Chain A
Amino acid sequence: MAFRAGIGSFRTRSIGKDGTELRSPELLPPYDANFDEFGPRYADLPMEILVNIFSYLTPSDRREAGLTCHRWCEAAHHTAFLDRFWLVLQRIQFDANEPPVRMLLDSFRHFPNVQLREVDFERLGNYFQQFGPHIRRIAFDACDLQERALFAILSHLAGLRSLSIRSCRDLFMCVLLFENPTERAALRQTLSGVTELSLAHIQYLSDAILHRLMEIMPSLTSLGLPGCNVSFHPGLYRKFYPGDRKQPSESVLTFQYIAQVIDERKALLRTLDFSQTLVDDNALEVLAAMGPELQLERLELERCEQLSGRGLGTLLRVQAAHLRELNLSRSYRVTDSCLVQICQEVPGLRVLKMRECRAISNQGVRQVVQLAQLEVLDVSYCKAINGEGILEGIASKRNETLRELYIGGLDLSERSIIAITENLPELRVLDLGYCFHAMSDLCLQFICRNMVRLTHLTLDGCRKVSDGGLTGLGMLGQMQRYLQADTEVPPESDPAIVAGNGQQSAENGQASASPPAEERQPAVPQAPPFRISLRSRAEQEIVNDAERKRQLMEAMQQKESLKQQASSSSSSTAAFSGYSIERLQQLHVLNLAGCNSLTDVSLLFNFRLLELRELSLSACKQFTHEGIQALVRGCPAIEKLDLSECFNIKDEAVRQIVLHLHRLRELSLRGCYQLTDYSLDYIACHCHRLRVLDVRGCKQIDGEPARRLANLPQLTTIRPDKANDHDTSDVRFGYGGSAMPPGAPPPPVGLLAMRL
C-alpha cells in the first residue's frame, strides 16, 4: 500500500432527519502533500511504482530518466535492473590512481558484469577487493594482462559465475600460469561457483595450463575453446605423450586431453564450444561415446570445416533428448541428410544456426517446420535454398514460437516473404539482407502491417525498396489486389477487405486516385541501353541530380496533395494509403543500406520511431538535409547512425543531426564529400557523447579532424580522410539478438584509428 503523507481531511458523516446523508459544505480543498506549487510530484512516487514504470523503458531511455533527479537515479539503478549492467572499460590504463578507475573507486556503484577490452593493467589498487565479491561475469579481451595480475584479480572474485578470456597472448605465453599448488588450492575455494569458462583464440594454450584451470574451477557446466589450436591428430598426441605418460603436456593442446577432462566432468557439463577449431567426426564420435551421462544442451560448432554428417549424426543420436542450441554456421560439409536428422530426432531444439552451410537445400529446410519449439533460425547465405523451401517449411503454417529468423542472401520469392509475415507474427528479428530479387515494396508493406513486434529489421542491399514500401503511399491498391488474388475473392467485394467501416465511399474515391499516384511514383532513373554518353562525368552527375530533384519535388507535391485529400475527406491517411514503418514502434535496429531508391519522402512522412537505436542509410544517395531534419526529430534515441556514401548530405544535415540526436555515439559520414569543416565545428559543439566518427572521403574536411574535436570527452576513434581507403570494415549493424556483441577481429595494421 502506498504511504501518503498528509491524508486529505476525513469528514464525518452527518445524517439528516430522513436518513439521507448531509454533506457539509466544502471549505478549502484538502491539503495534498503530493502536489507542490508546480504540480504533482512525480519525483516522489513510491520506489516500486518507479521501478514498474522503468521496467517498460529501454535501457537507453532508463539511463536518460535516471539523470533527472536522485530518486529516479536510484530507481534506474535498482536491483531489478542490476543484472543487465556492464562495466565496459576499453582501451584504458587500469590504474587505481588515475581516472577512470579512481572515479569508479569513489563511487559506490558496483557492477555485476565487467568487460575489459584492450586494457593495460598498471596498478590494480584495491578495486577488486572492494567490488570483486559482487562481480558475476568478467571478460578479458585482448588485454595486456600478466599472470600475477590475473591471480590477484581472481582471488577477489568470490561470487564469480562466468569467466571469459580472449586472445590475451602474454598471459598464456607464461608457462608459470597458476603453477603454485597452494595458490591453486586457494583459488579453487574462491572460484567454486564458476560455471562458465570460455578461452577464445588463445594461441599458447596447452594441456598443462588447461589442467590447472580445470583444477581451480571445479563446478564448470560450460566449457568453450573457440579458435584455440586444438590438435586432433592422434599422431601428434602419441609424439607428445610417449608411453603411458600422464603428465599434461606443456607444449600442445590436444583433443585427447580435453576429452579426458570432459569425461571427468560429464555429469556437470552442459555446453561445449569447439567453434573455429579443427574438430572432426572422430572427435564427435568420442564425445558420443560418453554416452547418456553427458547431457549436452548447447553445442557450438561454428566454422568447423572438418565436420560432416557422420560424426554429427552419431553425436546427435545420443544427445537428442537434451539438445537445445546447435550452431553449425559455416561448417560447409554439413548436408541435408544431417539437417533432416536434426529436425526429426531433436524435437526440443530452440536455436539452430546454419549460416553459409552451402550444402543445405530446400529438401532439408522444408523439414525445419517439425521443430515445434524453435525460437532462432539462421539459414542465411545457404545458396541452394530458395523461396519454396521457406514457403513449404517454416512459413507454411502459423507459428508463434519463432522469434529470430535470418534468411539473408537467399533467392526468395515475394510470396515466401509475405507468407512469413502472415504466419510468423511474433518475430522480433528478421534479416532479409541482400534478398534483392524478392524484397519489394509490397513485401515491406506486409511487414509493416503484420509484424508489429519487430525489434531488428535488416534490409540491406534490397534495392527495390522505395518510398512506397516505407510509407505506404499509394500501396493500398496493390495490397488489396494481392490479398484478393490470394484468397480468390471476387472483385466486387473489394471494399469489404479494407478495414474502416463507413468510409467506403471515400475509399472508392481514393482508390481511383491511387492507381495514377502509383504511376507517378519516382522511379530510379534507368540507364537507357546501348547509349554512349559523351558527357563528362561531372556533367552527368549534375544532370542526374537535377533529375532526382525534379522527381523528388514531384513526389513531395504528390504527398501533399494526398494529405490534403485525406484531411478534406476527414479520414485518416491510413484509409487510402497502406502501412507506414511507424507501425513498428518497437524497432531498435533498422538497416536500409543500399536501398538507393529511397528519397526524403520516406523520412518526411511518418518516420517516427521512438525506440530506434541503430539506423543505417548507407548508400541511400538521394537523402538530403530535408529528410534528415525530419528523421532526427522523429527518432530522438538514435545512437548509431550510418550515412556513408550519402553524398547529397551537406553541413546543414550534420547540424540537424547534432542538435537533435543527443544520444549519438557513432556517426559515419564516410564519402559525404560535400561536408566542410563547419560540420566538424557543429559536432564539436554539440555531440557530447560521440565515441566513433568516420569522415573518410570527406575531402573538404581538415586532414586532422582530431584537432578540432579535442573537446569531446569520449571520442576515441576518428577515421580521417588520409586513412587507408581499402579498409571497408563497417560497423556491423544489429546482427543477432545476443546480449554480448561478437568480438571484433583485431584491426588490420593499416587502419589509422586515432586514440585521444
Chain B
Amino acid sequence: MPTIKLQSSDGEVFDTDVQIAKCSGTIKTMLEDLGMDEGDDEVVPLPNVNSAILRKVLQWATFHKDDPIPVEDDDSKEKRTDDISSWDADFLKVDQGTLFELILAANYLDIKGLLDVTCKTVANMIKGKTPEEIRKTFNIKNDFTPAEEEQVRKENEWCEEK
C-alpha cells in the first residue's frame, strides 16, 4: 500500500495511506503539483497543524475513507444539522479548544466532510441560546460599545429575516 509521510508543525511524522491523505484537497494538490511519487522519502510539511490535531484528522479520514466525494452544495435553503452520524458525534465529543483546532485544520487541509460536520456541531451549540450564553460557550468578548449595542438592537426591531 503506497504511503506518504505527513509532518505536523511540531515535527512529528505520520505515515499515512496515500488514498486517505488525498481526502484532503490541500495535500492532494501538493502531491500533484510537486509531482511527488508515493514511496519517496519525501515528507509533506503541514506547518499549520500540530500533531495532536493531525492525529485526530487522520483518524477521521481513515474512518471516512470510503465516503463518496461530497458534492458542492447548491444554494438550497435546506441545511440540516440533525444528520451527524453517531461515530462523528462521539468523535467530536472533545473540548472547545480541540473542536476549534479541528475546524481550522479541516479548513486548511480542505476536507469538506470534516469541515461540515464540525460546523454543524458548532451550530448545534449555538441553537436556542441567548447572546450572553453564546459568549460564554465560545469565549467571545463583547466588543460592542453600549451605543453600538443599542444601534444593533434598534435595527433588529425593524429587520426580519424570512
Contact = CB atoms under 8 A, between A and B. Distances in A.
B108 interface: yes
Contacts of B152: 66-67, 73
Interface string A50-92: 0011111111111111111110110000000100111111000
B104 to A, nearest CB: 5
A276 B19 CA distance: 63
A48 B115 CA distance: 11
Interface in A25-42: 26, 30, 34-36, 38-42
Size class of the contact patch on chain A: 35 or more
Contacts of B11: 10-13, 23-24
Nearest to A13: B11
B13 to A, nearest CB: 7
B3 interface: no
Contacts of B13: 21
B112 to A, nearest CB: 10
Given A10-B47, A41-B139, A1 B144 contact: no
B6 to A, nearest CB: 13
Nearest to B122: A53
Interface in B78-94: 79-82
B10 interface: yes
B127 A42 contact: no
Contacts of B151: 103, 106-107
B47 A64 contact: no
A662 B131 CA distance: 10
A9 B155 CA distance: 45
B127 to A, nearest CB: 4
Interface string B7-40: 0011111000000000000100000000000000
Nearest to B135: A68
Contacts, number: 187
Contacts of B129: 61, 64, 636
Contact of B123 (A4, A46, A53, A67): A53
Given A40-B139, A69-B142, A86-B160, A9 B10 contact: yes
Contacts of A68: 131, 134-135, 138, 140, 142
A213 interface: no
Contacts of B120: 56
Given A10-B47, A13-B11, A59 B130 contact: no
A56 B123 contact: yes
A87 B158 contact: yes
Nearest to A92: B158
Contact of B138 (A42, A52, A111): A42
Contacts of A45: 100, 103-104
A291 interface: no
A63 B127 CA distance: 11
13 contacts: A8-B47, A11-B11, A30-B50, A38-B139, A39-B139, A43-B140, A49-B107, A56-B119, A69-B141, A84-B161, A88-B159, A89-B158, A585-B82
Interface of A: 1-2, 4, 7-13, 21, 23-24, 26, 30, 34-36, 38-43, 45-46, 48-49, 52-70, 72-73, 81, 84-89, 99-100, 103-104, 106-107, 109, 111, 452-453, 585-586, 610-611, 635-637, 662, 713-714, 739-740
Given A68-B135, A73-B152, 19 more contacts: A23-B12, A30-B50, A34-B100, A34-B104, A40-B100, A49-B115, A53-B126, A56-B119, A61-B127, A64-B126, A67-B156, A68-B134, A69-B142, A86-B159, A87-B159, A88-B160, A109-B155, A586-B80, A610-B128
**Closest 6 A/B residue pairs (Cβ):** A59-B161, A40-B100, A11-B11, A56-B123, A42-B138, A8-B9
